[in-house]
Amino acid sequence: MSKPIVAIVGRPNVGKSTLFNALAGENISIVKDTPGVTRDRIYADVTWLDHAFTLIDTGGIEPDSSDIILSQMREQAQIAIDTADVIIFLADVRQGLVDADSKVADMLRRSRKPVVLAINKVDSFQKFMADTYEFYNLGIGDPVPISAASRLGIGDLLDEVVKHFPEQTGEVEEDDRPRIAIVGKPNVGKSSIINKLIGENRVIVSNIAGTTRDAIDTEVRRNGKDYIFIDTAGLRRKNKIKEELERYSIIRTVTAVERADVVILVIDAKEGVTEQDAKIAGIAHERGKGIIIAVNKWDAIEKNDKTVYEYTNKIRNILSYMPYAEITFISAVTGQRLPKLFELIDMVIQNQNLRVATGVLNEIMTEAVALQQPPSDKGKRLKLFYITQVAVKPPTFVIFVNDKELMHFSYTRYLENKIRDAFGFKGTALRFLIRERKGEQ
């Protein structure tokens, strides 16, 4: 089951990024005393007690003039409504309740999504507590006083948030149909690919970037197998702030990737891999999803006998952190190689669920250690005792060692390559957890 999505919504300069960083436990968003400065990563995996969720910071509003502030705030709130399981609505006790708060609250209240009202900058409960009471006028529940900067009241806020998480019912677990997210920049042909796969115009296709507003699930049946395709959205171009469009695209991508088993990253063959493509690929990689890179509009490229080889090398160089990703060259217009997508999806899913016997893994590790001695530091050498696989989707391995500080990243990568040489694991990331075995140095 995918993790719940929690979105932070609020006016400019009420402390959304500060709260985001406090909950994420690290400085991920840039924080400045200027509205709309957030330009960095806007999502983070957060754990509270026994609950894990994905947090999204919907900041970044840059009001150029007073007449567009409200429309941008509405757009921001709508993103949260569309994607989140729970919404944290953040207000500022020092600025008090303002008209813009009421308008966004009205929209959130009508959404029927769970909303937790947090009143920020309450650095002293004794001094500011009475001022929080006016926020009852918003009509969206009890205000939770917090100070994101001082980390006061954060636990109380999270307690309220997790109360609204969906129940993990058996029905969700029983749906074992693979979910495939089609991701990529606006206007690279995501909807066209799905329409070609299902043979009907189920998704609106237009050459205007961001025609698809919401993520749409489409059931596809092929050769007796069922698949769920998630078509991720761009956004209606309501404003011309490029960074905002990118932000909203990434928000939707994060939520779609979270729900998916396999991610198909669609790249425009004429543009090549762009910075935003690399960002989107990184989201899927971090979450350990199966990854297929589909280079679309391949019919529009002039080719010779080396074109595929050269293009593949370019992709591998730019996305060097995910050499396992499968690459295919397609055309949504002509249907070129689209049937091959299903073969790749099946193969990647099989590899994501592949389990390797512990005995075989330890044979591979023993041979690898014999071929290349583990690293040492200040006279102390790394010893590898044992390896076992503990999970699938993605395949996850635990290696027991004498001192995990000696386990250099490069040696982990070396062991990963040895395991891949033996079992392939094409299309899926592998995760390695290093544990010290107590009492053995």
Which amino acid does the sequence have at 236?
R
DSSP assignment string, 129-165: HHHHGGGGGG-SS--EE-BTTTTBSHHHHHHHHHTTS
- What is the band of 421 on the pLDDT scale with cuts at 50, 70, 90? very high
Is residue 172's pLDDT more than 50?
no
Is residue 212's pLDDT more than 90?
no
Higher pLDDT, 162 or 258: 162
Higher pLDDT, 45 or 183: 183
Is residue 321's pLDDT more than 80?
yes
The pLDDT score that the predictor gives to residue 36 is: 37
129-135 long-range Cβ contacts below 8 angstroms, 24+ apart: 131/93, 131/96, 132/93, 134/96, 134/97, 135/91, 135/97, 135/101
**pTM check: above 0.75:** no
> In this predicted model, what pLDDT tens digit does every residue of 40-56 receive, in sequence order?
446 788 889 888 898 88
The pLDDT score that the predictor gives to residue 207 is: 53
Q: How far is 145 from 124, CA to CA, in rounded Å?
A: 10
Higher pLDDT, 75 or 287: 287
Rounded to an integer, the average pLDDT of 402-418 is 93
- Would you say 145 and 119 are in contact if contact means Cβ atoms under 8 Å apart? yes
- What is the band of 213 on the pLDDT scale with cuts at 50, 70, 90? very low
Q: How far is 123 from 120, CA to CA, in rounded Å?
A: 8
The pLDDT score that the predictor gives to residue 236 is: 35
DSSP assignment string, 385-409: EEEEEEETTTTEEEEEES-GGG--H
The pLDDT score that the predictor gives to residue 12 is: 78
Rounded to an integer, the average pLDDT of 182-204 is 76
The pLDDT score that the predictor gives to residue 250 is: 66
What is each CA distance from 281 to 4, 278, 315, in whole angstroms?
Answer: 21, 5, 11
Q: Which token pair is 128?
A: 């500011």
Neighbours of 324 (CB within 10 A): 20
* Mean of the per-residue pLDDT values of the chain: 82
- Give me the percent of the chain exceeding a pLDDT of 70: 79
- What is the band of 201 on the pLDDT scale with cuts at 50, 70, 90? low
The pLDDT score that the predictor gives to residue 312 is: 95
